[in-house]
Chains A and B, each alone.
Chain A
Amino acid sequence: NAGVTQTPKFQVLKTGQSMTLQCAQDMNHNSMYWYRQDPGMGLRLIYYSASEGTTDKGEVPNGYNVSRLNKREFSLRLESAAPSQTSVYLCASSPLGMDKNIQYFGAGTRLSVL
């Protein structure tokens, strides 16, 4: 059981380039999330998807788009990368029901924008 898998693990971009961060979970979870983690800022929610076909903005959505491709996959796209988007990006998923409040995280994608 792989859990939550994020690709790539590391990425360096130049300002203005675009890229898509991939996230997949094999736990049949309904909800998926994208966070960014910056030193001294904790984790901040970018976007989340409560179920397949729905997405909602979090605290810091500007400069990002998301796509819930199917129940397993939730991708995060940077259309025109900026140095302020240098961060560690974390994807998470959670089930419905009693364990709804528990989130399971991937190992993260470390992105540098030069």
Chain B
Amino acid sequence: DAKTTQPNSMESNEEEPVHLPCNHSTISGTDYIHWYRQLPSQGPEYVIHGLTSNVNNRMASLAIAEDRKSSTLILHRATLRDAAVYYCILRQRGGSEKLVFGKGTKLTVNP
């Protein structure tokens, strides 16, 4: 699985947008970009995934660079419940079963 690079930590204020970056310069054409998050004392939770086009769902938006070497997870209005570790993961289509979690970005949301 190709490697991703994320900042160790980020801070945001409640009700403000949050942009969480991820670099994946060695991404291949068949790699999907996945985001998971892990709230304190819980298992990881799927957030969103995409291949080439930007994606939106009820939780977040995923903006993918044109060359696909980076992506950004966007939380439109951060709440205290969004405080978590966010993981950016590459999954090859039809590839191995495992998810390779890096260290992720710890997001702190200030009231």
Residues of A at the B interface (CB closer than 8 Å) are: 4, 31, 33, 40, 42-43, 45, 48, 50, 56, 58-59, 90, 92, 101-108
Contacts and interface: CB of A to CB of B under 8 A. Distances in A.
Interface of B: 32, 34, 41-46, 49, 91, 93, 97-104
B58 to A, nearest CB: 15
Contacts of A107: 41-43
B49 A42 contact: no
A56 to B, nearest CB: 8
Instruction: Summarize A's interface: helix, strand, loop or mixed.
Output: strand
Contacts of A59: 98
Given A43-B44, A90-B43, A101 B32 contact: yes
Given A33-B98, A43-B101, A92 B43 contact: yes
A108 B42 CA distance: 7
Given A42-B101, A43-B99, A45-B98, 8 more contacts: A4-B43, A33-B98, A90-B44, A101-B49, A102-B49, A103-B99, A105-B43, A107-B42
Nearest to A103: B99
8 contacts: A45-B97, A56-B97, A59-B98, A92-B43, A102-B49, A105-B45, A107-B43, A108-B42
A105 B47 CA distance: 12
Contact of A104 (B46, B49, B91, B101): B46
Nearest to A105: B43
A41 to B, nearest CB: 9
B90 to A, nearest CB: 11
